[in-house]
Amino acid sequence: MFFSNDALQEAIKEFRDEGLDLLSGMEEGLLAIQEFGMGGDRINAVFRAAHTIKGSAGMLKLEHLVEFTHIAENLLDEIRNNKLHINEPMIDTFLRCKDHMQNLVLFYADNLGKEPDDEIKATSRSIMSILKSYLDHTVVANDGEATLVKDKKGWKIHIVFNNDVYLLGMDPANFLRYLMNLGEITHSECDTNRIGDLSNLNAVDCFITCSITLLTEKTEAEILEVFEFVRDDIEITFTSLSTEIQNPHEESSSAVLDTFVEVDNTKELGSAAASNNSRIVGSSSLRVDSDKIDTLINLIGEMVIANANVVQRASIIQDGGLNESVSAVSRMLEEIRESAMKIRMVQIGETFSKFKRIVHDVSKKLNKDVELIINGGETEMDKTIVEKISDPLVHIVRNAMDHGIESIEERAANGKNPKGTLILNAYHDAGTIAIEIIDDGKGLDEERIFKKAVERGIIDENSKLTQKEIFNLIFEAGFSTVETITDLSGRGVGMDVVRRNIESLRGNIDIKSTKGKGSTFTMRLPLTLAIIDGFLVKVGVTHFVIPLDMVVECIELSTRYRNEMHGNNYINLRNSILPLLKVRNHFEEAGEPKNLRENIIVVRYAGMRFGLIVEELHGEFQTVIKPLGKIFREIRGISGSTILGSGEVALILDIPVLMNHVLALQAHNEKGGADDVRDD
């Protein structure tokens, strides 16, 4: 064993993370080949992923994974060398390979030191037999048996390990031994000059320097990957040896590589390393455990609260020098907060890309032709939110393909393009991120949904519902309009969980649909769950925080506006009707106002505006979001809380929920029920 226990644990974790990233890229590459062909560097990227995983697994002695991946790698190598043409069934097989390799990576990460069970090995043998059947037809010799014909090349490799390699838990002998798997070692020698005076020898230092002549089919870049785990602790020189040279050890020009690099997926490693006398620059990226970032964000949040207390006390003392210092600290703390939050922001495109595989698989299962279009992949949001919306997105996408988009025959009969379209779209909107799932299928059937809801006892047959309210019935537990249950859907579970998961993230989901044309599901979510910029107000004795990104403007509720209202819940703001919600009445705030002056905070959400009537304005406020206690969780319109510098608690207003309440008030007013539901 060439790893210490701690080093092995760290190596396995890195192997898992890197392996999953590589496999994700492998899947993207295969789907790109299916859609656009073999152009560019697509097949090389797929081959590189398999090869790198095999090399890393070999270093960790994960023999079954090495054996399985080796067969896939051989077939990919034949394809990229134009000895075999890739086709649709072969791509499907490689996608199965990717899934199984992912299962093996996760198995070894969770079961260190154990071998896969018989079921996993049986799956391996099944897929390997298919891969071998493709390989058996690669090159047919005169005797009728399949053979692989490749050119071998000689390399003289000079390797110098850094002194502290042993302290890192690595054994250089294992790296050198693994080179034998890449070809034939025809000559090797070691240099002992680095050892020096034995009386001063440090037993934990490494003094290995060696020269090896390797005859192999592999490229320089592929040989470099053997040393992936010690890329920062090694110097290696490659010299290409020509078979025509009488002296096999005669050197040609060499490339000295002090460090190795994680190469961009769009470039072949060999092309970066093949140029003689070229130097590879180390990667500027750093992989950090998300728990460490979460801890950092939490600490910064506590600093924001503590700083608010300092600012308040400094304002009481009224010392000029102290106030200046506090202001400087506050400014730097805000910069730290913004920088820390950016660390946790990731592009949603990575999540969207995973749906290419889902659309590919579900299309085949349903025998439908569906094109996936991705827009706004560069839109950034909190990594925690990205992870938690993955399952709801999967469910909505599968539903859209199963229930929404028609079969090829049905679309053709209705004069539609036989190929259906599914669009994933993301964009920022008033301090939130909006994610749209759009399909051009048959849309939602209002009458059918209403009828099913009555049958299941969800609503009464005499209920008078708007189109929006009818569509929202599909989010009720156990609701389904599907007559036949499949392995994709129809059991009446899922959409209620989708809404619950989205609402747990302080988001909401909206549906728009036209029968025969298609549907749009829009999820709106906060950009982050940790710290926001807020606008602090007060009503009675309670402080409230409004997310600043949703605030449009503040206006005084003047006598003119009061007279224009005539007791209604809206005003005419610059020739536009603005619905109003009186915060005091909505939350049943006790006591009488200190003064008659009131203000309107105009907020915007989901393309609509309304006004919140409050009493005191306290201005912008950095808000650390704290979870609500059990007593407050059932209060609709409150999404969280925060601590003020005075130690008081301020409640964070849930603008989407309040907006829905305002819309409900308007709907009832239009039906003549204003006297029963009016807030003021």
Q: In the structure, what pLDDT confidence band is assigned to residue 260 with cuts at 50, 70 and 90?
A: very low
122-136, 242-256, 558-572 — most confident range: 122-136
Q: How far apart are CA 170 and CA 230, in angstroms?
A: 8
What's the full length of the chain, in residues?
680
Asked if residue 267 lies in contact with residue 285, where contact means CB atoms within 8 angstroms, the answer is no
What value does the mean pLDDT take over residues 339-362? Answer: 87
Distances (CA, A) of 143 to 132, 333, 371: 19, 76, 46
Q: How far apart are CA 104 and CA 646, in angstroms?
A: 54
Q: Is 525 left (phi over 0), alpha (psi -120 to 50) or beta?
A: beta
Q: Return the domain boundaries, the chain.
A: 5-135, 153-273, 290-344, 347-526, 531-677
34: tokens are 């299916």
pLDDT at residue 94 greater than cutoff 90: yes
pLDDT at residue 253 greater than cutoff 90: no
What value does the mean pLDDT take over residues 522-540? Answer: 88
DSSP codes of every residue in 536-590: EEEETTEEEEEEGGGEEEEEE--HHHHHHHTT-SEEESSSSEEEEEEHHHHTT--
pTM above 0.85, yes or no: no
Residue 5 has a CB neighbour count (10 Å cut-off) of: 10
Q: Look at residue 224 in the predicted model and tell me its pLDDT.
A: 80
- pLDDT above 70 covers a percentage of the chain that reads 85
Q: How many helices (H) and strands (E) does the chain have?
A: 21, 22
Q: Look at residue 203 in the predicted model and tell me its pLDDT.
A: 75
Asked if residue 127 lies in contact with residue 94, where contact means CB atoms within 8 angstroms, the answer is no
Q: What is the CATH number of domain 5-135?
A: 1.20.120.160
Q: Look at residue 418 in the predicted model and tell me its pLDDT.
A: 93
Q: How far apart are CA 104 and CA 100, in angstroms?
A: 6
Q: How far is CA 327 from the centre of its chain?
A: 37
What value does the mean pLDDT take over residues 100-109? Answer: 92
pLDDT at residue 289 greater than cutoff 90: no
What value does the mean pLDDT take over residues 230-252? Answer: 60
In 89-233, DSSP assigns E strands to 153-161, 183-190, 209-216
- pLDDT above 90 covers a percentage of the chain that reads 26
CATH class of 347-526: alpha beta
What value does the mean pLDDT take over residues 360-370? Answer: 90
Q: Look at residue 220 in the predicted model and tell me its pLDDT.
A: 80
Q: In the structure, what pLDDT confidence band is assigned to residue 37 with cuts at 50, 70 and 90?
A: confident
Q: Look at residue 285 in the predicted model and tell me its pLDDT.
A: 63
490: tokens are 């129809």
Q: For residue range 560-582, list pLDDT tens digits in order.
A: 888 888 778 889 898 889 999 99
pLDDT at residue 266 greater than cutoff 70: no
pLDDT at residue 171 greater than cutoff 50: yes
Q: What is the DSSP letter of 384?
A: H
pLDDT at residue 99 greater than cutoff 90: yes
Q: In the structure, what pLDDT confidence band is assigned to residue 673 with cuts at 50, 70 and 90?
A: very low
Q: For residue range 38-51, list pLDDT tens digits in order.
A: 776 788 889 988 98
Q: What is the mean pLDDT of the chain?
A: 80
What value does the mean pLDDT take over residues 54-81? Answer: 88
Q: Look at residue 482 in the predicted model and tell me its pLDDT.
A: 60
pLDDT at residue 256 greater than cutoff 80: no
Considering the domain delimited by 153-273, tell me its CATH architecture.
2-Layer Sandwich (3.30)
Q: In the structure, what pLDDT confidence band is assigned to residue 137 with cuts at 50, 70 and 90?
A: low
Q: What is the DSSP letter of 448?
A: H
Instruction: Give 260 or 165, the one with higher predicted confidence.
Output: 165
What's the CATH fold of domain 531-677?
SH3 type barrels. (2.30.30)
Instruction: Give 492 or 596, the one with higher predicted confidence.
Output: 596
Spell out the residues 6+ positions from residue 659 whose beta carbon is closer than 8 angstroms to its own: 603, 605, 606, 608, 610
